[in-house]
Amino acid sequence: MSDPIIKIQNMNKWFGDFQVLKNINLEVEANKKIVVCGPSGSGKSTLIRCINRLEEHQEGDIIVDGNELSEKTKDIEKIRAEVGMVFQQFNLFPHLSILDNCTLAPIWVKKMPKKEAQELALDQLKKVQIDDQANKFPGQLSGGQQQRCAIARALCMQPKIMLFDEPTSALDPEMIKEVLDAMVSLAKGGMTMIVVTHEMGFAKEVADEVIFMDEGMIIEKADTKEFFANPKSDRTKLFLSQIL
């Protein structure tokens, strides 16, 4: 058993007086796929935003790939470059073409030569099947295409970990599948993934473990089969009965 790539210990976080995350303990090993689910407002998104320090936690430790995240962390950019993130609202850069969206960070953050970065970007775009849209602008693409581009953009940084923050929640139903397909093939490629989603079909297909959160706490954490077949807490049972 290898060392966990993400280790969260006794983490607490407040927004003002309101405690969003309560005593979170979580270990994720390399190449594992974790699905986080739970009702809205339960702190799922905040949890994964803490992992690349888009949100700051107040208590406890978060260790990502051997680096502890705290105010003292000097080169947080370096850690973020190792952790890709895909957002609910895609957050593509609207003033740049699809290709430039993908090459921007590799060129300026990783100092990759432009040509190499473009080859890499086209390669990643091909994997999510939008390489033919490379010269268009985000505003000209459908939601599903934009989200696949966002996945390609994150992958162009060749991250060790990918975080997905409800990647399909803002999409039309018929576009959800194309995004999920891209994520499934990514998972099969062996990427470490933490996915916040309500797509239970996706969880059943690829997840190694499922975490159920409510009111800022991890209520249940179990192997996928176990989680769906035999949920332990009543809150989880209620949630599953409503969502499935």
Partner 1 sequence: MQTLNFLKPNRDNIKNYSIIGSFLVLVSLIDVISNAFLKVNLTSFLPGSLTSLFPLIIGLIGLNMMRIDYSGNKKLDLLNKNINTNNFNALLTLVILFSIIKALPQSLSWMIFDATISGDSKDACTGTGACWTYIKVWFRRFMYGMYPNEFHWRINTAFILVIALGFVGYFMKENLKKYLALYYVIIYPVIAYLVIYYLISGGSFGLQWVETGAWGGLSLTFIVSFFCLIFCFPLGMIFALGRRSSLPVIKYISICYIEFWRGVPLITVLFMSSVMFPMFLPEDFFMDKLVRVIIAITLFEAAYCAEVIRGGLQSLPRGQYDAAKSLGMGYWKMHIFVILPQALKLVIPGIANTFLALVKDTPLIFVVGLAELAGMLALAKTNPKWLGFAMEGYIFASIVFWIICYAMSKYSYNLEAKYKTER
Instruction: Give 150 or 206: the residue with its C-beta nearer to partner 1.
Output: 150
Smallest gap from Cβ 85 to partner 1, in A, equals: 4
Answer yes or no whether residue 148 interacts with partner 1 by CB under 8 A: no
Q: Rounded distance, CA 83 to CA 158, Å?
A: 9
Instruction: Give 130 or 154: the residue with its C-beta nearer to partner 1.
Output: 154
DSSP 1: -
Maximal C-alpha separation, the chain: 55
Does residue 161 contact residue 104 with C-beta atoms inside 8 Å? Answer: no
Answer yes or no whether residue 81 interacts with partner 1 by CB under 8 A: yes
Answer yes or no whether residue 78 interacts with partner 1 by CB under 8 A: yes
Both structure tokens of 130: 């939008």
Answer yes or no whether residue 104 interacts with partner 1 by CB under 8 A: yes
Dump the DSSP string for 90-108: ----TTS-HHHHHHHHHHH
Q: What are the φ and ψ backbone dihedral angles of 212, each rounded to 5 degrees?
A: -110, 125
Answer yes or no whether residue 103 interacts with partner 1 by CB under 8 A: no
Does residue 15 contact residue 188 with C-beta atoms inside 8 Å? Answer: no
The region of 33-41, 107-115, 121-129, 208-216 touching partner 1 under the rule CB under 8 A is 107-115
**Residues 150-189: x where in contact with partner 1 by CB under 8 A, - otherwise, as a string:** x--xx--x--------------------------------
Answer yes or no whether residue 87 interacts with partner 1 by CB under 8 A: yes
Does residue 220 contact residue 227 with C-beta atoms inside 8 Å? Answer: yes
Binding site for partner 1 (CB under 8 A): 49, 52, 54, 77-78, 80-85, 87, 89-95, 104-105, 108-110, 137-140, 150, 153-154, 157
